Amino acid sequence: MAESRYIHGTAPDEQARLSRLNQLLNDAALRELRIRPGDRIVDFGCGLAQLTRAMARQAGVRAVGLERSAEQIAEAVRQARSEGEADLLEMRESDVLGAAVEEASYDLAHARFVLEHVPDPLAVVRAMTRAVRPGGRIVLQDDDHDVLRIWPEPPGLRALWQAYMRTYDRLGNDPIVGRRLVALLHEAGARPVRSTWLFFGACAGEESFPAFVENLHSILEFAREAIVSAGLLGREEVDETLAQIQRVGKRPDSAFWYAVAYAEGIR
């Protein structure tokens, strides 16, 4: 079975970006997740496990996090220990496409920003469905990169963003998997019961706005080499657009609009 392929890597700069991303998204995610006391949780592709720990905190029991990267696991464990929450987390080194997880043992199987990075998302959702007990929940959160909007639009952004999406295609991954989440639940044998969006954005007048702009800039900066080496855009064009993103981010009239797709099913 082919392995999942994470385009962004696991370098310290990327880990820092992921930590900031968690700070921007986790409160909204937790509101939608509606964790119940005692929920047994397995988090597929948990990364640094910040959301995993937050879910475990609400459930009041240890959660299992599946993560293939030894670097991510080490940082996840370090963060959990530094915040006195090591007992909330059981990390297992596992690729989500070959996840060895107990069947019918969990109340909630969760995956965020995972399906866009695997060549066979349905295989992951099937494994998640097998992992939960009858009546258990499967929750998918993922990207449909085509929904990004910024105003005023930075010159060159559309071409650069399309090139970034093409880097997913080159790896056999799907940059618009978010629109398929309900269909994937159905195909995996789960009963879809809910879908929504988690808004991810702000305007220049909000304190959080620079963090959204910086997240976008970092994603595209980290992907520069993949874009250039694939011949999708030239280096000078990428760098000029990155500079334009930063300029627009400093304008008092700018706004950032994005949304994370969310879908829930029942086994």
**Cβ(150)–Cβ(157) below 8 Å:** yes
Contact 162, 106 (CB under 8 A): no
- Please give the structure tokens belonging to residue 177: 């998997």
Token code pair at residue 106:
């969990």
202-245 per-position pLDDT tens digit? 999 999 999 999 999 999 999 999 999 999 999 999 999 999 99
d(CA 111, CA 120): 14
pTM of the model: 0.92
Between CA 173 and CA 171 the distance in angstroms is 5
Q: What is the pLDDT of residues 145-155, one digit of tens each?
A: 999 999 999 99
